[in-house]
Structures are given as structure tokens and as C-alpha cells.
Amino acid sequence: MTTPAAPAVNTVAWFEIASDDPEGVQRFYGDLFGWRFRTDENSAAVGMDYRLVSYDGDEEVCGGVFGTRGDMPGHAVFTVLVRDVAETCRTVETLGGKVLSQVVRNESGPDFAYLHDPSGNLFGIFAPAGS
């Protein structure tokens, strides 16, 4: 088996689906597309329901489904791999976008932030921890 190439910087490299019914979302996309799911143990350790997604026939994780517990509306969002989350947040504001969450530093995973483009479309950015 060959090792998959790492995603290129400034490309869509992850997706997330948020729902107050993650079990139902898992069943829907699993039945529809054959996606596979497994619990993210790091998230579970801090009480978060986060399920990692891989495609049928591919072990590489490509996205996630998380339970909102009703704390936010359901949504789907794409995330872009960047070199520096804080710097990209500053650039987003310069270009007329809005930073919705400042950089979230994650000891067991990537640093990330959520933003709006100038039209109000939600998207995320992430970089490996400590980038």
C-alpha cells in the first residue's frame, strides 16, 4: 500500500458536518456513499462526540462529523490547509472577510479557526499544531 500524498497548502483538505443527531448523519452518509466512521479518541477524552470519516476502500481520514448537542445549528463546512492560522485570519480581515473564532490551539491536533468570506459563507482553516 502506498502512502497518500499530504494535501497541498491552500487547498480544501478536510470537511466537517455538524448535527444534533450525529448518529443519523452517520447512518445517512454511510448508506448513501459508503463512508466509514470511527470515534476520535482525543475528542472523546474531553467529552466531545467527534467521528472521523474515511471513504469506502480508503483508510485515509478526510473529514469529521460532530455532535452539536443543540449548541449551534447544523451545518457542513470545508476547511483549507494553511501554513499559519493567525496570519491567514489577519489576511481574511484585510480582504473583507470576518473571523468568527480566533485561533483555537489544540494540543492533540491541528490549530484552526472559522471565518466568513465577504459574502457571509462559512469556511474553516487549519494548520498542524504549533505551525
Domain annotation covers residue 32? yes
Residue-range definition of the domain harbouring residue 116 = 12-127
CATH number of domain containing 69: 3.10.180.10
Domain count, the chain: 1
Domain annotation covers residue 7? no
Interval 79-109: pLDDT, tens? 999 999 999 999 999 999 999 987 888 777 7
pLDDT of residue 130: 65
Interval 43-73: pLDDT, tens? 888 888 999 999 888 888 999 999 999 888 8
Q: Which of 113, 112, 87, 120 has the alpha carbon at shortest distance from 99?
A: 113
Q: Quote the mean pLDDT of the chain.
A: 89
77, 80, 81, 85: CA torsion to nearest 10? -90
- The pTM (predicted TM-score) of the whole model is 0.76
